[in-house]
Structure 1
Amino acid sequence: MKFDTICLVETPEGIDLHAELVGLVPRSLAYGIDLLVRIGILTVFGIAVALTGGKLGGLWLVAYFLLEWGYPVAFEVYRNGQTIGKKAFNIKVVNDDLTPIQFGPSLVRNLLRTADIFPFFYVFGAISICLTSRFQRLGDLAAGTVVIYAEEPAYDSSALDDVTPVTPVMALSEAQQTAFINFSLNRGNLSQARQQEIAEIIRDVIPQRIDDPVDYVRGVGKWLLGAK
């Protein structure tokens, strides 16, 4: 079986998104770092409990529960899909359509680590990663998530030299921001008619009528890239 390490997704706006998938070894090493972090914190709590003569044993159990289940979910949802271990290897968890992971999928993929760990040392999870085309463990398959490298794609800023940055009139989700930015940087690969069609679709997420949707979407994209 031949595996492609590139995850390619076409958005409803007709824009291709791609990312490099992460295999077993980097994921295992990242998990090892996260495990050491949790062990270190629990050790500190354990010492504190011992110094109190065991009176705070219940607190240690609470800390264990929060670290075992809350640590990965909190970091994935609020830290761009990256736990401390994943950050060290510059990898992150996203939905399988490459949009940012949300609480529900993160909770599912982490709860199902109990299935991945069987029969011992994550054997089921490792086998699943090796045999699936997107390197997904059982939790990823159930949650609809993948692990990708987090490098930001390089882009040619000169492609937007002819447009003025436009501040959007409303907050945009990360998926919407991605659509604006990708169109702004890749419109040169599209015909004029296709540019107009896609720009109108993207622009319509903002309740503001603009005469030239192509320039407007490019302007918002330039603003999102940091030109203010």
Structure 2
Amino acid sequence: MAAIKIPTAFNIDLEFEASDIGQRIGAWFIDLLVRGAYLCLVLVVVSNVNWPSDGKNIFAFWSILIPISFYFLLMEMFMRGQTPGKKAVGIKVVSLLGNPPSFSQHMIRWLFRILETPVIIWGVVPLVSIIRSKYNQRLGDLVAGTIVVNTKNKSKLSDTIFREVSQTDYQPHFPQILRLSDKDLNKVKELMDLALKSNNQELSAKVAYRVRDVLKIETEMEHVQFLETLLNDYNYYVTKD
């Protein structure tokens, strides 16, 4: 399997293991079975309800068309990059930063899936794309900026100082944070995580006081909240356009 090293804005390489084509095909067939089971369920329900024929046909049409058509989009959005098939074989979709795909990335993958669906072109485009691309990406992944990786990652963003600052109107509190290096921030996070894991309030207080002293910051924030805010601010300044 291809190893994927993703450079971050924090001078840290995240290493993932790309899913192979066998896993992708296996996941697709499991999802096909799930959709097939749903189709059979709808047909059984329709055949056992006492409705006029036109009503049955309309109900069956929309009950099948919408869930089947939007299956991958909705599953991957609500299951954070997975479908039942992907979860069963141990793979998931992530962005090229290693975090869950955005709504637009999910949409792009879904729209390109319509062009790539095996029902139309016998799977030639996705198979060729996965085989030929560096990170086993299908066309939709290449355009959306996503990859499909094994869920047993060798490293993950939660192990780094990365924070997903999702608010478009996020307002940073401490511009002084840019005076610290990536190495310094990673040490702060390491100590903060240790304090939280062991419920050691004294350690988190020491770290917070030390950072405040170095950066000449005066704040009434609780210690852990202060440290989390620092990491969010750093992410905001480093990743903003």
Per the TM alignment, residue 44 of structure 1 is displaced from its structure 2 partner at its CA by: 0.5
Aligned match of 1:128: 129
Per the TM alignment, residue 133 of structure 1 is displaced from its structure 2 partner at its CA by: 0.8
Paired AA for residue 37 in structure 1: V
Q: CA deviation digits over 1:95-119, x for unaligned, max 9?
A: 1222211221112112211221365
Aligned match of 1:206: none
Per the TM alignment, residue 47 of structure 1 is displaced from its structure 2 partner at its CA by: 1.3
After TM superposition, the runs of 4+ consecutive aligned structure 1 residues lying more than 6 A away are: none
Q: Contact (CA 8 Å) 1:92, 1:149: kept in 2 or not?
A: yes
Q: Contact (CA 8 Å) 1:42, 1:60: kept in 2 or not?
A: no
Q: CA deviation digits over 1:175-205, x for unaligned, max 9?
A: 5x44238xxxxxxxxxxxxxx51055xxxxx
Question: Which one of 19, 22, 27 corresponds to residue 24 of structure 2?
Answer: 27
Higher helix share: 2
Q: CA deviation digits over 1:123-174, x for unaligned, max 9?
A: 11111111111111111111111100001548xxxxxxxxxxxxxxxxxxx9
Paired AA for residue 217 in structure 1: K
1:96 and 1:61, CA in 2 relative to 1: closer, same or farther beyond 3 A? farther
Trace 1:45-194 onto structure 2 (pairs within 5 A).
Answer: 45-52=42-49, 53=51, 54=53, 55-117=55-117, 120-153=121-154, 177-180=158-161
1:113 and 1:215, CA in 2 relative to 1: closer, same or farther beyond 3 A? closer
Distance 1:215 1:101 in 2: 28
Aligned match of 1:197: 181
Distance 1:42 1:63 in 2: 9
Paired AA for residue 145 in structure 1: T
Could you say which structure has the larger radius of gyration? 2
Report the TM-score when normalising by structure 1: 0.69
Per the TM alignment, residue 16 of structure 1 is displaced from its structure 2 partner at its CA by: 1.1
Report the TM-score when normalising by structure 2: 0.65
Aligned match of 1:193: none
Aligned match of 2:225: none
Distance 1:56 1:223 in 2: 61
1:5 and 1:220, CA in 2 relative to 1: closer, same or farther beyond 3 A? same
Distance 1:127 1:113 in 2: 14
- Secondary structure of the equivalent of 2:149? strand
RMSD after superposition: 2.7
Is residue 37 of structure 2 the alignment partner of residue 40 of structure 1? yes
- Secondary structure of the equivalent of 2:9? coil
Q: Contact (CA 8 Å) 2:16, 2:153: kept in 1 or not?
A: no
Distance 1:69 1:17 in 2: 34
Identity among equivalent positions (%) equals: 26
Unaligned runs of 5+ in 1: 155-173, 182-195, 201-212
Aligned match of 2:10: 13
Aligned residue pair count: 179
1:10 and 1:221, CA in 2 relative to 1: closer, same or farther beyond 3 A? farther
Paired AA for residue 198 in structure 1: D
